Amino acid sequence: DTAVSQTPKYLVTQMGNDKSIKCEQNLGHDTMYWYKQDSKKFLKIMFSYNNKELIINETVPNRFSPKSPDKAHLNLHINSLELGDSAVYFCASSQDWGGGRDTQYFGPGTRLTVL
């Protein structure tokens, strides 16, 4: 069974469109995350979320919004897509909220291409 899954794996869309990426974890974890990996392989955290708190990286445009219907899901909505949004987006989850010990487990990634 896949621990952290994302759909779709590939997403190609036009500039200006609105799209969503879904993420589900079956690990029973309390906290989920979204990361963006750019073309130079640099990974940057976008959001950290559990049922208590959402932490947004201040550099993330407000066109990006996480939506969590329940503890096992954290979807990423992107409005008015721009060329610079093209990247691989990773979802991750961890058992606890905060603290240095907590290992994050990653989904397979979604490659978004904006034309």
Partner 1 sequence: AQKITQTQPGMFVQEKEAVTLDCTYDTSDPSYGLFWYKQPSSGEMIFLIYQGSYDQQNATEGRYSLNFQKARKSANLVISASQLGDSAMYFCAMREDNDMRFGAGTRLTVKP
Positions in the binding site for partner 1 (CB under 8 A): 33, 40-45, 48, 55, 88, 90, 92, 97-106, 108-109, 111
CA–CA distance, 87 with 41 (Å, rounded to integer) = 9
Query: Which CB atom, from 79 or from 86, has the smaller least distance to partner 1?
Result: 86
Query: Which CB atom, from 73 or from 111, has the smaller least distance to partner 1?
Result: 111
Locate 52 and state its tokens: 């208590």
Give the nearest distance from C-beta 16 to partner 1 in angstroms: 27
- Inter-residue contact 34 to 91 (CB < 8 Å): yes
Give the nearest distance from C-beta 78 to partner 1 in angstroms: 20
CA–CA distance, 113 with 71 (Å, rounded to integer) = 28
Locate 19 and state its tokens: 């799209």
Give the nearest distance from C-beta 47 to partner 1 in angstroms: 10
